[in-house]
């Protein structure tokens, strides 16, 4: 428990509770305490008027290789975990994708073990997914867009017509161009990413959601009926909350997901707490 509340100082006003981005501060009986979901950010300190919050003796373990190994072991995963980090340019030592590709296809490669981090931008995006990722759009011809729309809308597509496609997309937040690109690689090979993406079966998803709810009291919500990239990545990034999705037909194909798998996208700063809490829930009684 990295940050702690001095119970002799705390007046239980609750001002810190709603100002913790990780939902790590909770009431337990008469006390307000900080749980294992704390990520050591220090955001709560200025919200306490009586200086009851202080840094604890331990620090949160953010080691990517340790967290990768712990998630794989505790969830019995047999796939690699995708890590993603927004950046305006490729960091030193990270290659840029040089052709056209799909975000979801690169994630599929990582799930299958090809985890060297790669910098992906709107210029590399084969589809409109880069807009959903907050990276802006590649310039394409009118004919190309019309061809895509023929696949998306109408019988045998995703929506009965263009209007319904627009209506469905409007239910996701609109993102301006936020970053120049996104680094995608395996968690084992990427330090301090923004988010992780894991293919999970029903039981594994239930274990993750139980571990998240255990000390936050919050549920994890899902998105279905839109693109795989729309339902993940930026939503958890902006809200600092995990989400799950079944993805869409094309995204599932590119990711090479098994029929039983859905996706969980989790902000990285929630992962250390989740890993600790996996040991505390009902699943640990099995
Ligand atoms: S996660 Fe940040 S804001 Fe929340 S309790 Fe820990 S240090 Fe405070
Ligand atoms: S803001 Fe300070 S006094 Fe109020 S509940 Fe939080 S720790 Fe206690």
Does the CB atom of residue 24 touch ligand 1 within 6 A?
yes
pLDDT, residue 14, reads 96
Whether 5 is in the pocket of ligand 1, judged by its Cβ within 6 Å, is: no
The total number of structural domains that make up the chain: 2
- Counting from 1 in the atom list of ligand 1, the atom nearest the Cα of 45 is 8
- Specify whether 159 is located in the same domain as 22: no
Q: Are residues 33 and 128 in the same domain?
A: no
Cα angle value 200/25/68 (rounded, 5°): 30
Looking at ligand 2, which atom is closest to the CA of residue 9?
3
Kindly state if the Cβ of 15 falls inside 6 Å of ligand 2: yes
- pLDDT at site 277: 97
**pTM strictly above 0.85:** yes
Residue found by looking up tokens 């209007």 in the block: 163
Residues 156 and 19 in one domain: no
Q: Residue 116 has which token pair?
A: 């060297």
pLDDT, position 1: 64
| Shared-domain flag, residues 225 and 259 | yes
HSE at residue 23, side-chain half, CA atoms within 13 A, is 17
Pick the residue whose CA is nearest to atom 2 on ligand 2: 48
Task: Identify the CATH number of the domain in which residue 13 sits.
Answer: 3.30.70.20
Residues 216, 142 within the same domain = yes
Q: Are residue 34 and residue 118 in the same domain, yes or no?
A: no
Say what the pLDDT of residue 183 is: 97
Tell me, what's the pLDDT at 248? 92
Co-location of 83 and 162 in the same domain: yes
Give me ligand 1 centre to Cα 171, in Å: 31
Query: How high is the pLDDT of residue 229?
Result: 87
Domain boundary among 11, 31, 55: 55
**How far is residue 49's CA from residue 62's CA, in Å, rounded to a whole number?**
29
pLDDT (0 to 100) of residue 216: 95
40 lines ligand 1 (CB under 6 A): yes
Asked whether residue 47 falls in the same domain as residue 133, the answer is: no
pLDDT score recorded for residue 148: 79
**Residue 12 Cα: closest atom of ligand 2:** 5
pLDDT one digit per residue (tens) for the chain, 286 residues: 689 999 999 999 999 999 999 999 999 999 999 999 999 999 999 999 999 999 998 888 899 999 999 999 999 999 999 999 999 999 999 999 889 999 999 999 999 999 999 999 999 988 878 888 888 888 888 888 888 788 888 898 888 998 998 888 888 776 777 899 999 999 999 999 999 999 999 999 999 999 999 999 999 999 888 888 888 888 899 899 999 999 999 999 999 999 999 999 999 999 999 999 999 999 988 7
SS (H, E, C) the chain: CCEEECCCCCCCCCCCHHHCCCCCEEEECCEEEECCCCCCCCCCHHHCCCCCEEECCCCCCCCHHHHHHHHHHHHCCCCCCEEEEEECCCCCCCEECCCCECHHHHHHHHHCCCCCCEEEEHHHECCCHHHHCCCCCCCCCHHHHHHHHHHHECCCCCECCHHHHHHHHCCCCCCCCCCCEEEEEEHHHCCCCCEEEEEECHHHHHHHHHHHHHHHCCCCEEECCCCHHHHCCHHHHHHCCCEEECCCHHHHHHHCCCCCCEEEEEEHHHHHHHHHHCCCCHHHHC
Whether residues 41 and 169 fall in one domain: no
For residue 31, report the distance from its CA to the centre of ligand 2, in Å. 10
The answer on 157 and 242 residing in a single domain is: yes
Same domain, 167 and 270: yes
Write the residue with the smallest CA distance to atom 1 of ligand 1. 38
Residues 131 and 230 both lie in one domain:
yes
> What's the pLDDT score for residue 274?
97
Q: Which structural domain range is residue 29 located in? A: 3-55
Q: Report whether residue 32 contacts ligand 2, using a CB cutoff of 6 Å.
A: yes
| Residue where one domain finishes, among candidates 55, 77, 92 | 55
- pLDDT for residue 132: 81
In short, whether 16's Cβ falls inside 6 Å of ligand 2 is yes
């Amino acid at each position: 428990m990295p940050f702690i509340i001095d119970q002799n100082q705390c007046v239980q006003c609750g001002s810190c509770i709603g100002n913790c981005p990780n939902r790590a501060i909770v009431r337990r009986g008469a006390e307000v305490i900080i749980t294992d979901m704390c990520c050591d950010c220090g955001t709560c300190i200025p919200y306490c008027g009586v200086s009851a919050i202080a840094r604890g003796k331990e620090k949160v373990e953010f080691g990517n290789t340790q967290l990768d190994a712990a998630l794989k072991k505790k969830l019995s995963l047999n796939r690699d975990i995708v890590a993603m980090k927004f950046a305006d340019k490729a960091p030193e030592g990270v290659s840029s994708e040089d052709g056209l590709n799909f975000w979801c296809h690169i994630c599929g490669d990582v799930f299958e073990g090809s985890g060297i981090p790669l910098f992906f931008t709107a210029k590399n995006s084969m589809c409109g997914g880069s807009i959903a990722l907050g990276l802006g759009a590649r310039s394409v011809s009118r004919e190309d867009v019309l061809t895509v729309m023929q696949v998306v809308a109408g019988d045998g597509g995703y929506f009965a017509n263009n209007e319904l496609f627009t209506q469905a997309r409007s239910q996701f937040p609109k993102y301006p161009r936020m970053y120049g690109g996104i680094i995608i690689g395996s968690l084992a090979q990427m330090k301090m990413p923004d988010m992780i993406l894991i293919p999970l079966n029903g039981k594994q998803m239930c274990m993750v959601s139980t571990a998240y709810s255990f000390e936050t009291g919050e549920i994890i919500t899902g998105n279905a009926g839109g693109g795989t990239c729309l339902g993940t990545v930026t939503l958890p990034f902006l809200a600092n909350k995990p989400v799950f999705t079944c993805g869409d037909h094309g995204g599932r194909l590119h990711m090479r997901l098994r029929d039983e798998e859905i996706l969980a996208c989790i902000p990285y700063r929630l992962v250390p707490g989740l890993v600790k809490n996996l040991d505390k829930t009902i699943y640990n009684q099995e």
